[in-house]
């Protein structure tokens, strides 16, 4: 069956307007290969509703047009919000799967041990150097203990929260601001803000929801490279090794101080600084892919396979080894919940026929 016909049948099913002939054709298609499993995920109402809730923040028309151009070069049939929601199933629908339909050979991922997704966990480094494990229910439990240390010493002391690979965490700062830490991230802050400002130091990836206080500006030092100043806003900071550093503004306004230059961002803009620390560029972006991790999703649009796998590696705590260097530049679009099975994602990527992957313990070999 042609890909366009499959799309039409699925769309008609979601609309509830299938004819008897269309239903027979769909049932015949479901009997082949893994189509029944794929279809079940497509029509999962809960997953569709999750996607629908995010459409208000996502440039779904632009994304749909991009996908249509890749698949057909032009639009084949009318579309609506439900169809778009279904299309956002990423590697499952109209993306990797549609490419895979034309492939006859399938090389399954070899799995030796179950790889689990990340979990809420962090380590708190107290002013005296003691390290405390923070679990899911420990978001702000440590603050009273740290304040006790401060009162005893009667001076400003700092603590650090760090998330290793395979973990994430949410922290409530002394002023009530909330910070989400992605895997391999650090946040250093005082036990109490003073001196007319609120200053923290970060590395890795963090999402800030800052409480507004015009008398005490909030300042974020990004790995000694530049500083982000805010009064009250939401933004994402990303600063991983070997990747450009990026500050993405969701709401409000921020000013970035970089090597004597001040750059003011508006909502929907991103400031990027290259790995060598030189220069900074500002541009308009769709913020959704950059903050999806904080909302429990991975969202990649036409991204390099190497970048996708390294992002997944931080969350699933695996190591990536490219035995075939050419596939690093292959591009994919992926939309998945952060708690999906890692092996399933790799299998779906493999079905394009251009990549093979083998898992041994916590190592992934890309061929």
Distance CA 120, CA 118 (A): 7
* Tens-digit pLDDT string for the chain (367 aa): 555 577 677 777 766 677 888 888 888 888 877 677 667 666 665 555 555 555 454 454 555 555 555 444 444 444 444 444 444 443 334 333 444 444 434 444 444 456 888 888 888 888 888 888 887 655 554 454 445 554 555 567 888 999 999 999 999 998 889 999 999 999 999 888 888 899 999 999 999 999 998 889 999 999 878 899 997 899 999 999 878 899 999 999 999 998 878 889 999 999 998 766 677 889 999 999 999 999 888 888 888 999 999 999 999 999 999 998 888 998 888 888 888 888 877 887 787 667 888 888 889 999 8
Give the other-Cβ count within 10 Å of 344's Cβ. 14
Domains in the chain: ranges and CATH: 3-100 (no CATH), 119-290 (2.60.120.1440), 296-366 (3.55.50.30)
Within 244-341, residue ranges assigned H as helices are 288-291, 305-316
Pick from 333, 260, 325, 331: nearest CA to 94? 333
Pick from 276, 245, 280: nearest CA to 263? 280
Rounded to the nearest 10°, the torsion over CA 80, 84, 87, 90 is: 170
Percentage helix, strand, coil, to 5, in the chain? 30, 30, 35
The tens digit of pLDDT for each residue in 36-45 reads 766 766 666 5
pTM over 0.85: no
């Amino acid at each position: 069956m042609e890909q366009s016909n499959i799309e039409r049948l699925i769309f008609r099913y979601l609309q509830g307007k299938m004819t008897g002939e269309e239903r027979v054709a769909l049932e015949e298609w479901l009997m082949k290969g893994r189509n029944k499993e794929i279809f079940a995920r497509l029509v999962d109402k809960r997953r569709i509703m999750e996607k629908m809730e995010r459409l208000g923040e996502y440039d779904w028309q632009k994304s749909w047009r991009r996908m249509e151009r890749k698949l057909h070069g032009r639009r084949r049939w009318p579309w609506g919000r439900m169809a778009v929601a279904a299309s956002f199933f990423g590697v499952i629908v109209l993306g990797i799967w549609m490419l895979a339909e034309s492939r006859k050979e399938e090389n399954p991922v070899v799995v030796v041990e179950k790889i689990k997704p990340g979990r809420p966990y962090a380590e708190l480094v107290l002013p005296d150097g003691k390290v405390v494990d923070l679990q899911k229910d420990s978001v702000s439990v440590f603050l009273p203990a740290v304040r006790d240390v401060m009162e005893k010493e009667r001076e400003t002391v700092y603590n650090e929260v760090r998330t290793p690979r395979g973990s994430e965490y949410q922290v409530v700062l002394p002023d009530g601001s909330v910070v989400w830490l992605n895997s391999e991230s650090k946040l250093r802050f005082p036990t109490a803000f003073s001196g007319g400002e609120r200053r923290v130091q970060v590395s890795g990836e963090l999402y800030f929801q800052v409480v507004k206080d015009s008398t005490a500006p909030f300042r974020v030092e990004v790995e000694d490279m530049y500083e982000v100043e805010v009064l009250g806003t939401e933004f994402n900071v990303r600063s991983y090794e070997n990747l450009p550093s990026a500050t993405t503004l969701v709401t409000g306004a921020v000013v970035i101080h970089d090597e004597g230059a001040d750059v003011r961002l508006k909502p929907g803009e991103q400031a990027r600084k290259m790995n060598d620390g030189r220069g900074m560029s500002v541009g308009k972006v769709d913020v959704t892919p950059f903050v999806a991790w904080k909302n429990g999703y991975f969202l990649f649009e036409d991204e390099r396979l190497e970048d996708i796998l390294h992002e997944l590696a931080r969350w699933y705590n695996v190591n990536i080894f490219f035995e075939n260097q050419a596939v690093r530049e292959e591009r994919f679009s992926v939309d998945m919940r952060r708690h999906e099975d890692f092996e399933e994602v790799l299998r779906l990527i493999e079905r394009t026929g251009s990549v093979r992957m083998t898992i041994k313990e916590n190592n992934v070999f890309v061929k």
